Amino acid sequence: MTNENTIGSVPPDELTDDQKRENAIRLAFDGDADRFFEFCKTLASELPPNTAAVLGGSSVTGFRWEDGTPFDGDGPKTSDLDLTLVGDEILEDFTLAGFYVPGVHTRPLNDESLDIAPGLVPLRETLMSIVGGRPVNIQATRDFYVFIREHLLGQPYLTLVGKVNES
């Protein structure tokens, strides 16, 4: 499928990291690479050691995985950023009610669920200010779940901070 928000006609699961980064900067950061790097720097300074941060969804592919809707296809700033924090320690920031799979994968922290990870709300607010008020949804997971999403479900991601162990 060719989509105006992707780079050429490259299928999402074949995008390079450079192409995913270019999409994210163009779409989510209004073409402002400095804001993108500020976002990454903020994550690096606020996250526990050995925690990675990855960006997924339409901000890196150009369109929604479920139905092909282009990024911001419903109007300006209508698409959110899907941020996943990867590592053992970050999972401790979520309450038990915040998990899809306890100890493995959380629900997204967003406007409707601020109580599932109250300690991450200030970080979320800072990140949202960097992207001009665009919603930032924050999930946490273990390394292997990110691997499953990308390689088995075809949902690519861009690593912003740290390293995801795919073994």
pLDDT at 7: 47
**Residue 3: inside a domain:** no
User: Quick one: the chain helix, strand, coil %, rounded to 5?
Assistant: 40, 20, 40
Give the pLDDT confidence of 89-137 residue by residue, as tens digits.
999 999 999 999 899 999 999 999 999 999 999 999 999 999 999 999 9
- The two beta strands, 99-101 and 105-106, are antiparallel
Give the pLDDT confidence of 39-57 residue by residue, as tens digits.
999 999 999 999 999 999 8
Select from 153, 80, 139 the least CA-distant residue to 105.
Answer: 139
pLDDT at 31: 97
**Residue 166: inside a domain:** no
Q: Is the pLDDT of residue 154 over 70?
A: no
**Residue 93: inside a domain:** yes
Find the mean pLDDT for residues 32-44: 98
User: What beta strand segments (E) does the chain contain?
Assistant: 52-56, 81-86, 99-101, 105-106, 136-141, 157-161
Q: Is the pLDDT of residue 66 over 70?
A: yes
Q: Tell me how many domains the chain contains.
A: 1
Residue 84: pLDDT band with limits 50, 70, 90: very high
CB atoms closer than 10 angstroms to residue 133:
9
**Residue 8: inside a domain:** no
Burial class of 113 by CB neighbour count within 10 A (0 to 12, 13 to 18, 19+): middle
pLDDT at 42: 98
Strand order in the sheet with 52-56: 99-101, 105-106, 136-141, 81-86, 52-56, 157-161
**Domain boundaries, position 87:** 15-160
pLDDT at 107: 96
**Residue 6: inside a domain:** no
